[in-house]
Amino acid sequence: MKHQKVIIWLKKARTSLDKILSMLEEEKYCIDIIQQNLAVIWLLKSANLNLLEWHLNGCVKKAINAKNETEVEAKMQELVKVMNLAQSK
């Protein structure tokens, strides 16, 4: 499966989120909760970067190789939109 690494990261993030919720409900030490939260953030960022790389090496390359200027322009606009969204967060 092409996205196996991403699936693993997202499943780990989901598990960690459940752990964070339990820690909050049990009123665990704040720094421990923050560390778990940072781990989830890392997992999500890693998954996102991997998906972006897959998109560039797959979808974008395919449009370029097909010499479909309209499709290439659409892919570039998608990338700009996603990068702007990432910068605003």
Burial-class residue 43 by CB neighbours within 10 Å (0-12, 13-18, 19+). buried
19-28 per-position pLDDT tens digit: 999 999 999 9
Residue 50, CA distances (Å) to 22, 64, 87 in order: 29, 20, 17
Beta-carbon neighbour count of residue 3 at 10 Å? 13
Domains, in order of start, for the chain: 4-88 (1.20.58.1000)
- Mean per-residue pLDDT of the chain: 93
**What tokens appear for 2 in the block?**
């092409």
The larger pLDDT score, comparing residue 71 to residue 2, is at 71
What would the mean pLDDT of 10-24 be, rounded to a whole number? 97
Going by pLDDT thresholds of 50, 70 and 90, the confidence category of residue 33 is very high
